[in-house]
A and B are shown apart, each in its own frame.
Chain A
Amino acid sequence: MIEIKNVSYKYSTPAGSVHALKSITASIPSGAVTAIIGHTGSGKSTLMELLAGLIKPDCGAITADGKEMSPKTAGLVFQYPEYQLFAETVYDDIAFGPLNSGSSKAEADERVKYAATKMRIDSDMMKYSPFTLSGGQKRLAAIAGILAMKRDILLLDEPAAGLDPSGRQLVFSVISELIEENKNMTVVFVTHSMEDAAEFADNILVLDSGELIMQGAPDEVFSNKEQLISCGLDIPEMMKLSIALCERGIDIGTPLSVSDAYRNIMRLLK
Chain B
Amino acid sequence: MLKDITVGRYVDTNSFLHKLDGRTKIICTLLFSIASLSCSTMIAIAVLAAAVLSAAAAARLPIRYVIKGLKPLRWLILFTIIFNIFTVKGNIIWQWHALSITVEGVSFALLTASRFILFVTGASILTLTTSPIDLTDALARLMRPLKMIKIPVDDIAMIMSVTLRFIPLFADEAERIMKAQRARGADLSSGKLLSRLRSVIPVTIPLFLSVFRKADELSLAMDSRCYGRGTRSSRKKTHIGANDLLFAGVLIIICGFLLIFEFYH
Contacts and interface: CB of A to CB of B under 8 A. Distances in A.
B184 A14 contact: no
B176 interface: yes
B185 A97 contact: yes
A54 interface: yes
Interface stretch (B24-32, B205-213, B226-234): B205-213
A59 B62 CA distance: 23
Contact of B183 (A12, A16, A54, A88): A54
A86 B206 contact: yes
A84 B185 contact: no
A72 B185 contact: yes
A39 B13 CA distance: 26
A92 to B, nearest CB: 10
Q: Is the interface of B mostly helix, strand, loop or mixed?
A: helix
A171 to B, nearest CB: 18
A75 B65 contact: no
A87 B182 contact: no
A12 B184 contact: no
Nearest to B65: A14
Contact of A14 (B61, B180, B181): B61
Contacts of A100: 181, 184-186
A84 B61 contact: no
Interface in B190-238: 205-206, 209-210, 213
A84 B183 contact: yes
Nearest to B6: A14
Nearest to B176: A83
A201 B210 CA distance: 36
Interface string A73-87: 001101000011111
Interface string A131-146: 1000000000000011
Nearest to A55: B179
A229 interface: no
Contacts of B184: 71, 75, 96-97, 100, 145-146, 149
B264 to A, nearest CB: 40
Contact of B206 (A13, A14, A52, A87): A87
A76 B183 contact: yes
A212 to B, nearest CB: 24
Q: Which of B65, B182, B185, B186 has the most CB of A within 10 A?
A: B185
9 tightest CB-CB pairs across the interface, nearest first?
A97-B184, A86-B206, A100-B185, A14-B11, A14-B65, A101-B185, A86-B177, A84-B180, A76-B183
9 contacts: A54-B182, A76-B183, A84-B180, A86-B177, A86-B180, A86-B206, A87-B206, A131-B213, A146-B183
